[in-house]
Amino acid sequence: MFKKKTLVLTALVAVLIFSACTSSSINSNNNYFYNGINFGADRDASFKKGVKDACNTANGNYTKNHYMFNNNKSYKDGWEDGRLQCKGN
């Protein structure tokens, strides 16, 4: 009887330990973080450039590629999202 209880307790502890070691869902979706802000999953290089430029702007260093802003929807979306999210950070 003692061996059975020990085996059950050991199995339960192992399950608890291994379930706590699963990876975080934050990074499992390939999310893009900038300045500690999550800008969502699967962002392309243009979006990321827009976010970086907008965050620089939000911090007082106006940065915008006007050609990309007017001709690249992904850059524009990143710039607008970055401007709103980075404002005040």
Residue 85 lies in a domain: yes
Residue with the bigger pLDDT between 18 and 81: it is 81
Residue 13 lies in a domain: no
pLDDT of residue 88: 72
Residue 30 lies in a domain: no
Largest CA distance in the chain: 76
pLDDT of residue 61: 94
pLDDT of residue 7: 55
pTM: 0.66
Summarize pLDDT for 28-81 with one digit per residue, the tens.
568 999 999 999 999 999 999 999 999 999 999 999 999 999 999 999 999 999
Provide the domain limits for residue 57: 47-89
Q: pLDDT band for position 11 (50/70/90)?
A: low
3-state secondary structure the chain: CHHHHHHHHHHHHHHHHHHCCCCCHHHHCCEEEECCEEEEECCCHHHHHHHHHHHHHHCCCCCCCHHHHHHCHHHHHHHHHHHHHHCCC
pLDDT of residue 21: 46
Number of domains forming the structure of the chain:
1
Residue 33 lies in a domain: no
Residue 23 lies in a domain: no
**Closest to 86 measured CA to CA, from 47, 39, 23, 17:** 39
